Each structure stands twice: as C-alpha cells, then as structure tokens.
Amino acid sequence: MNRKDRSAFTFIELLIAVTIFCIIAVSVYSVFNAGIRVWLKTNPIIEDNQAMRILFNTASLDLKNAVAYTAIGTNFKGEPKRISFMTLIDVAGDKIPLHSELARVAYCFDKDTKAIKRLVATKDEGLDETKAKNQEFLRDAKEEDLSFEYCYKEPYSSAEFTYKWKDTWQDEAKIPRGIIIKLGEFKKVIFIPTGELGIEK
C-alpha cells in the first residue's frame, strides 16, 4: 500500500487540534469562573434586597391594619429604634380557617443576633410583648441603619396636610397618620388609614 493512500493525522495536525481544544477549554472555563464569581458577589446583595422588601411589605401591612385598642394600656409606642402597636394579623392553623386576629406587633433591632426582629403577641400570649413570637429579617444588620419617624402636626396649624416628622410618638392612645421606616439609605413611607396627626410636643 502506498503512503499516499494512508489516512492519519500528522504530528503537526495533532498539535494544532490540541491547541485549538485547549483554547476553547480555557475560554469556557474563564466564562464559567467569571459567572461563578459574579454570582457569589451579587447573591448576598440580592438576598439582602429581598429580605428588605419582605420587611417593608410586612411592616406596611401591619401598620395599615393598625387599630386603636386601649383596653390593655398603651396602644401605640413609637421610639427612634423601636415601634410597638396593636394590629390585625392573619392567622390560620390545623382545622382553623384563615381569619384576622388582634395582636401586639413590635419591630426592633436585636443586639444578640444583629437582626431586625418582628415580635408578635396574639391572644394566646395574652398580647404580652415579653411572650411574643419573633421573626427575623436582615441578619448582620447594623443598629444605626434602622430608624423610625412619626407624622406630627405643626402646633396651631389649621392646614389639613401640614406634616412634620419626628423620631418619637408621644400620644400613646392614638395612632400616627404615617410612619417612615429607614434602613440605611433605603426608606419607606407608610400612611395609616385609621391614624391621626399628633400635636408636636
């Protein structure tokens, strides 16, 4: 058989093929590695943003369902870093259909876990905050990032929409007209349908 009739790769062709394969493999690895690095970098940010959205939405729903209930003393207590109020929450369980139930809800920063907490005390806990169940948002948060502001009315102002925001709510029998929740550079303004403008003290 003639050498011309033999079909085989020459050494140079083999080197070219291996080189092309290596270039493609390195390119694929580089793209895959870059994608993994971007995902690892952005995933915590995405999770934090999602947790912040859930916190804002939950707090908004709680505050919009806030009720004036003074049978057990303090109805609404607003501090710069903590808020506590009576509201209606949705409750369901085994053989219990979904229904609304009165509860005391508080939002605050927990120094031990470094997380923002939602405390919920229903009638099962006697509406007692010290026995409340808690839900955590935004682990590894900073205490200075969380703050609340409350809607006041300017003294002697007859204007219907003259709002002023302060970091405490002193009229514990009433609910403020609105709340601002701040989390670092993010904030949410929540107006409460049943709320009233307190007079600034």
Mean pLDDT of the chain: 83
Does residue 123 form part of some domain? yes
Residue keyed to tokens 């509860």: 103
DSSP 3: G
Q: Once rounded to an integer, what is the mean pLDDT over residues 157-175?
A: 77
Which has more confidence, 2 or 141? Answer: 141
Does residue 38 form part of some domain? no
Query: Is the pLDDT score of 93 beyond 90?
Result: no
CA distance 15 to 19: 6
Query: Is the pLDDT score of 79 beyond 90?
Result: yes
Does residue 8 form part of some domain? no
Contact at 8 Å (CB) between 180 and 149?
A: yes
Range of the domain at 139: 56-199
Q: How confident is the model at residue 1 (pLDDT cuts 50, 70, 90)?
A: very low
Among 87-96, 153-162, 172-181, whose mean pLDDT is lowest? 153-162
How many domains, in total, are found in the chain? Answer: 1
The structure tokens listed for 3 are 């050498």
Does residue 44 form part of some domain? no
Does residue 122 form part of some domain? yes
Does residue 140 form part of some domain? yes
Query: Is the pLDDT score of 118 beyond 70?
Result: yes
Does residue 35 form part of some domain? no
pTM of the predicted protein model:
0.73
Q: Once rounded to an integer, what is the mean pLDDT over residues 65-89?
A: 85
Find all residues with CB under 8 Å of 129, minimum gap 6, and list them: 84, 104, 106, 119, 121
Percentage of the residues of the chain whose pLDDT score is greater than 70 = 88
CA distance 35 to 180: 38
Query: Is the pLDDT score of 71 beyond 80?
Result: no
Query: Is the pLDDT score of 106 beyond 90?
Result: yes
Does residue 46 form part of some domain? no
Q: How confident is the model at residue 2 (pLDDT cuts 50, 70, 90)?
A: low
